[in-house]
C-alpha cells in the first residue's frame, strides 16, 4: 500500500458538529462500550456454561455475542482515545485495517442474522425435521459461508479504496476510517470506487434483508395457522428478539448507504446506532426476551455467589 501513497497517517476529526462535547461523548461512549462488552460476555458465558443451550440456535446466539464484542472494538477504543485528549492520528495501515475489519465483521454479522432467521424458519415450519435439516455439518457450512462472504466484501471494498493515491489532505471528517469519509481525500478520480462500494454494500444488505424477510413471512404464515393461543405465543417469543435485533441492525445500514445525498452528520449518527448502540441493545434484547438465557444467567450468578461465599 505504501507504494501508492505519500501519506503516512490520517487525522480522525471525530463526530461532525460535536466540537466542545468531547468530555460528554467520552463518558457516554465509555459507559456504552463497557456495558456492551459485559452484556455480551454474560450471554456468551450463559451459552457456554449451560448444556441445555448447546443447540444451533444458541450457538448462533453465542457467535452473535462475539461479533457484538468485536465490531464496536474496531472503532470505539480509538475514538475514546482521542476523545480523552490524546492524538487524533491513525496510521495509514491502521486506517486500512480499521476499514477492512469493520466491513468484514459487519457483513459477516449480517450473514449470521440471515442464518439465524433460516434456523427459526426451520424450527417453526419444520419442527420434526429440525435436527435433520440443521445438522452440525449444515451449521458449519452456513457459518463458513458467512465468514467467506464477509471476507470477500471487506477485501473488495478495502482494495478499491486503498488502491487510490492519497497525497493531499489527510483529515478524515468522521470518527473512524469508513469508505464515504476516506474516498474524498483521494488525489485521483474516486468515482468508480464510490460506485462500487455503495452498490456492493447496498446490494449485499438488501439481499440479506430479503432472505430474512422471506424467512419471517413463512414464519408468520406458520404462526397464523397455529390454533392455540399458547402455541402462537410460544412461536412468536422464539422469533421476537431476533426480529427486533435485525430491525436495529439493518435500519441504520440502509439509511447510510442508500441515501441519495450523503450527509456526514446523519451518516455518523446512523453508524453510531449500527456500530455502538445496536451491539449493546442485542445483549439486552436477548437476555430479557429469552427465558432459557435468563435461567442460565441466574445459574451463573448463583454459582458465582456461592464460589465467592466459599
Mean pLDDT is lowest, of 48-52, 86-90, 110-114, 176-180, for 48-52
Instruction: From the options 1.25.40.10, 1.10.150.20, 1.20.1070.10, 3.40.640.10, give the CATH code of 2-309.
Output: 1.20.1070.10
Q: Give the pLDDT score at 5.
A: 46
Distance of CA 132 to the CA centre of its chain: 29
Predicted confidence (pLDDT) at residue 196 exceeds the cutoff of 70: yes
Q: What is the mean pLDDT of residues 229-242?
A: 72
pLDDT of 272-307, one tens digit each? Answer: 888 888 888 887 777 666 677 777 777 777 666 666
Q: What is the mean pLDDT of residues 217-239?
A: 77
Q: Give the pLDDT score at 118.
A: 92
Predicted confidence (pLDDT) at residue 89 exceeds the cutoff of 60: yes
At which residue does the C-alpha cell 459487519 appear?
Answer: 106
Q: Which residue has the higher pLDDT, 302 or 110?
A: 110
Q: Give the pLDDT score at 289.
A: 62
Q: Give the pLDDT score at 98.
A: 95
Q: Give the pLDDT score at 306.
A: 63
pLDDT of 113-145, one tens digit each? Answer: 899 889 988 988 888 899 899 998 999 999 999
Predicted confidence (pLDDT) at residue 257 exceeds the cutoff of 70: no
Predicted confidence (pLDDT) at residue 38 exceeds the cutoff of 70: yes
Predicted confidence (pLDDT) at residue 151 exceeds the cutoff of 60: yes
CB-based contact 166:185 (threshold 8 Å): yes
Q: Give the pLDDT score at 70.
A: 94
For the chain, what are the domain ranges? 2-309
Q: Give the pLDDT score at 228.
A: 76
Mean pLDDT is lowest, of 37-46, 62-71, 244-253, for 244-253
Q: Give the pLDDT score at 2.
A: 46
Q: Give the pLDDT score at 266.
A: 73
Amino acid at each position: 500500500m505504501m507504494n501508492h501513497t505519500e501519506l503516512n497517517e490520517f487525522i480522525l476529526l471525530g463526530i461532525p458538529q460535536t466540537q466542545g462535547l468531547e468530555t460528554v461523548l467520552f463518558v457516554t461512549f465509555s459507559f456504552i462500550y463497557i456495558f456492551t462488552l459485559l452484556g455480551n460476555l454474560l450471554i456468551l458465558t450463559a451459552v457456554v456454561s449451560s448444556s441445555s443451550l448447546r443447540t444451533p440456535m444458541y450457538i448462533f446466539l453465542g457467535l452473535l455475542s462475539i461479533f457484538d464484542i468485536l465490531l464496536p472494538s474496531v472503532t470505539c477504543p480509538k475514538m475514546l482515545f482521542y476523545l480523552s485528549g490524546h492524538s487524533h492520528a491513525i496510521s495509514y495501515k491502521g486506517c486500512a485495517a480499521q476499514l477492512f475489519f469493520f466491513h468484514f465483521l459487519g457483513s459477516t454479522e449480517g450473514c449470521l442474522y440471515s442464518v439465524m432467521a433460516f434456523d427459526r424458519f426451520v424450527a417453526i415450519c419444520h419442527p420434526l425435521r429440525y435436527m435433520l435439516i440443521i445438522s452440525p455439518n449444515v451449521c458449519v457450512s452456513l457459518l463458513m459461508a458467512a465468514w467467506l462472504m464477509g471476507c470477500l466484501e471487506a477485501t473488495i471494498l478495502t482494495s478499491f479504496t486503498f488502491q487510490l493515491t492519497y497525497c493531499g489532505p489527510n483529515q478524515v471528517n468522521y470518527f473512524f476510517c469508513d469508505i464515504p469519509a476516506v474516498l474524498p481525500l483521494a488525489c485521483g478520480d474516486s468515482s468508480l470506487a464510490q460506485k462500487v462500494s455503495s452498490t456492493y454494500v447496498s446490494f449485499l444488505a438488501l439481499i440479506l434483508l430479503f432472505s430474512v424477510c422471506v424467512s419471517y413471512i413463512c414464519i408468520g404464515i406458520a404462526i397464523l395457522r397455529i390454533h392455540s393461543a399458547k402455541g402462537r405465543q410460544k412461536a412468536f417469543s422464539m422469533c421476537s428478539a431476533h426480529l427486533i435485533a435485525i430491525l436495529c441492525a439493518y435500519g441504520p445500514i440502509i439509511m447510510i448507504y442508500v441515501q441519495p445525498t450523503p450527509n456526514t452528520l446523519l451518516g455518523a449518527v446512523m453508524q453510531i446506532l449500527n456500530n455502538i448502540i445496536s451491539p449493546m441493545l442485542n445483549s439486552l434484547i436477548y437476555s430479557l426476551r429469552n427465558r432459557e438465557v435468563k435461567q442460565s444467567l441466574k445459574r451463573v450468578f448463583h454459582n458465582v455467589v456461592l464460589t465467592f461465599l466459599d
